[in-house]
């Protein structure tokens, strides 16, 4: 508790919850990215975000957004564990247009 | 609008502190203010109000409450507007991470406020529910990307504007899965089919008709996913029919190529905080044991909505929120007697779960229940001894039943020892 209070005081990102099940803060996710995490799995291993009772149901979209923002890459380029394990396959409207063109 | 001035009571304590600003929490705020509570605060961990209804952009909400068909955000907007008008204070981006059972202290975390400890006179738990994840059903095979609970996929599509895949299989027939099947079609993806391990649908009949039948999406009962294929991205699943013991039948296996598997395999009330607060949790509903005032085993703590029992309709959730909020306000004002009468409710042979579990007889009340086995024909809901009877055309596990109990009927029977609710064929 004291450590949480201290961290939250110095950097508000440590008082912003990303993973509600394991009480992982945005500060912890940012720290993991600074230390080299590039995928959802890496963030999970380093912070416990996504290891709790909902298994990433709530935090997966949030962690993906933070990765996308911090690494400056589009959301649909974020992978679960590298390689071809992309989370998303494109934007909704693009997707419909593509189909219409076929 | 969202930051009403904090009108603290002289001792700085909130009269009613509500945890979660979804439909139950916002209604609880309104209920508490209307009952006369001065300082009513709703805490919300998300940056915006409305809970999961924010991503429910399809229509079908509010048919009971407003007699019109609204989308989730429209429905919520009406309640949020009223809550602001009556002076409910909301704190967003505020996560409750601990409740001390000794003194009901509530610990919160927020970017601007840091870590705080609140000591309210009463608490309303309105944390809602969460989806059962893949881990809950142990399917053999790999764990590639492309597997989501229906609600997570719904967030990606409806709020972020991204598609989780192009060809989906849906496992489970809960309402969010059915709604997402239609959404995937609308957004240009294919839905190969919906697979349900039980011999009846998990969701509402109207959603089967409007989301599957209208789009020709095949619906397979007594069939489940038995294996997941693919290393990086999902490449396909194996499905198989199951026997009466839910064991896959050899020879019925079939490989389906797909890049997405959506799970709609049930919802679980979100009660980690309730457990921390030492509140008694019902083993079947997974929510707090409550009386008809929606008071939990801790007299200062009330609970409403999907955190108590997973409802079919948001209208019921809002109704229960109003009741819990009003009673929490009464408790804060010392208007609820500690030795209130409590008549236990019991479920009959064909009732799997029900809420509330105790009746005080202080007011008219509704006992909500789900049947264990479907009845496809004339049947009736009863609350014995002789408190309620209602004929029905059918009863299904995916659709809740109600028994309406009159306070006058409870008061008229001073020897009432228990109430038994059941749904049986006629």
Confidence of residue B6 (pLDDT cuts 50, 70, 90): very low
d(CA B20, CA B134) in angstroms, rounded, equals 25
Per-residue pLDDT, A9: 84
Confidence of residue A8 (pLDDT cuts 50, 70, 90): confident
Confidence of residue B7 (pLDDT cuts 50, 70, 90): very low
In this predicted structure, the answer to whether residue B2 has a pLDDT above a threshold of 70 is: no
Per-residue pLDDT, A102: 62
Burial label for A20, CB within 10 Å (0-12, 13-18, 19+), is buried
CA distance A37 to chain B (A): 17
In this predicted structure, the answer to whether residue B12 has a pLDDT above a threshold of 80 is: no
Question: Among B310, B312, B292, which residue's Cα sits nearest to residue B302?
Answer: B292
Interface with B, mutate which of A87, A99, A101, A102 (most B CBs under 10 A): A87
Interface with B, mutate which of A12, A13, A52, A55 (most B CBs under 10 A): A55
B188/A95 touch (CB, cutoff 8 Å), yes or no? yes
**Strands B106-110, B114-118: pairing kind:** antiparallel
Confidence of residue B11 (pLDDT cuts 50, 70, 90): low
> Under DSSP, is residue B400 helix (H, G, I), strand (E, B) or coil?
coil
- A46 lies within 8 A of chain B by CB: no
Per-residue pLDDT, B203: 94
Asked if residues A8 and B115 have their Cβ atoms less than 8 Å apart, the reply is yes
Which residues on A lie below 8 Å from B259 (Cβ)?
89
Confidence of residue A97 (pLDDT cuts 50, 70, 90): confident
In this predicted structure, the answer to whether residue A1 has a pLDDT above a threshold of 80 is: no
In this predicted structure, the answer to whether residue B95 has a pLDDT above a threshold of 50 is: yes
Which candidate from B111, B133, B145 shows the least CB-CB separation from A87? B145
Confidence of residue A35 (pLDDT cuts 50, 70, 90): very high
Per-residue pLDDT, B341: 80
Per-residue pLDDT, B5: 43
Range from A77-81, B4-8, B287-291, B389-393 carrying the lowest mean pLDDT: B4-8
pLDDT tens, B77-90?
999 999 999 999 99
Find all residues with CB under 8 Å of B299, minimum gap 6, and list them: B331, B336, B338
pLDDT averaged over every residue in chain B: 94
pLDDT tens, B252-270?
999 999 999 999 999 999 9
Per-residue pLDDT, A101: 67
Give the DSSP letter of residue B249. P
- A41 lies within 8 A of chain B by CB: no
Phi–psi pair at A5, nearest 5 degrees = -60, -45
Q: Six-digit token pair at B247?
A: 């064991």
Give the DSSP letter of residue B247. P
Other Cβ atoms closer than 10 A to B359? 25
Per-residue pLDDT, B1: 38
Nearest CA in chain B to A54: B133
């Amino acid at each position: 508790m004291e450590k949480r209070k201290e961290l939250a005081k110095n950097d508000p990102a440590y008082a912003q919850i990303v993973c509600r099940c394991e009480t992982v803060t945005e500060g912890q996710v940012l720290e993991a990215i600074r230390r080299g995490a590039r995928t959802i799995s890496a963030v999970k291993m380093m912070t416990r975000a996504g290891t709790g009772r909902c298994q990433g149901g709530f935090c997966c979209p949030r962690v993906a957004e933070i990765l996308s923002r911090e690494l400056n890459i589009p959301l649909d380029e974020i992978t679960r564990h590298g390689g071809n394990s992309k989370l998303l396959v494109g934007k909704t409207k693009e997707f419909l247009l593509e189909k219409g063109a076929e | 609008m969202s930051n009403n001035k904090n009108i603290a009571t002289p001792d700085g304590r909130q009269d009613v502190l509500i945890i979660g600003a979804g439909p139950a929490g916002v209604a609880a705020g309104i209920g508490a203010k209307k009952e006369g509570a001065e300082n009513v605060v709703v805490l919300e961990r998300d940056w915006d109000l409305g809970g999961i209804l924010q991503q429910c952009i399809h229509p079908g909400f509010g048919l009971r409450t407003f007699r019109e068909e609204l989308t989730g955000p429209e429905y919520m907007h009406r309640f949020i507007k009223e809550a602001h008008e009556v002076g409910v204070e909301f704190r967003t981006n505020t996560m409750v991470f601990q409740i001390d059972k000794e003194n009901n202290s509530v610990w919160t975390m927020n970017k601007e406020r840091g870590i705080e400890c609140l000591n309210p006179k009463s608490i309303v738990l309105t944390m809602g529910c969460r989806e059962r994840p893949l881990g809950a059903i142990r399917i053999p095979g790999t764990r590639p990307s492309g597997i989501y609970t229906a609600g997570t996929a719904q967030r990606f599509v409806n709020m972020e504007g991204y598609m989780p895949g192009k060809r989906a299989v849906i496992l489970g027939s809960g309402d969010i899965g059915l709604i997402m099947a239609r959404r995937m079609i609308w957004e240009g993806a294919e839905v190969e089919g919906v697979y349900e391990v039980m011999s009846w649908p998990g969701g509402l009949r109207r959603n089967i008709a409007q989301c599957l039948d209208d789009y020709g999406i095949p619906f397979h009962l007594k069939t489940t996913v038995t294996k997941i294929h693919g290393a990086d991205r999902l490449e396909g699943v194996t499905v198989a029919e199951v026997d009466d013991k839910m064991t896959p039948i050899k020879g019925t296996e079939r490989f389906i190529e797909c890049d997405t598997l959506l799970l709609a395999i049930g919802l679980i009330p979100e009660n980690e905080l309730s457990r921390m607060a030492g509140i008694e949790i019902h083993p079947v509903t997974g929510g707090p044991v409550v009386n008809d005032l929606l008071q939990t085993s801790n007299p200062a703590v009330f609970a409403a909505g999907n955190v108590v029992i997973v409802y079919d309709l948001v209208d019921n959730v809002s109704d229960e929120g109003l009741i819990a909020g009003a009673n929490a306000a009464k408790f804060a004002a010392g208007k609820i007697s500690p030795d209130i009468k409590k008549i236990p409710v019991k479920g009959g042979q064909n009732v799997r779960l029900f809420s509330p579990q105790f009746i005080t007889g202080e007011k008219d009340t509704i006992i909500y229940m789900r049947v264990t086995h479907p009845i496809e024909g004339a049947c009736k809901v009863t609350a014995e001894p002789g408190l309620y009877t209602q004929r029905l055309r059918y009863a299904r596990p995916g659709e809740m039943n109600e028994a309406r109990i009159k306070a006058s009927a409870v008061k008229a029977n001073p020897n009432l020892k228990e109430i038994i609710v059941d749904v049986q064929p006629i």
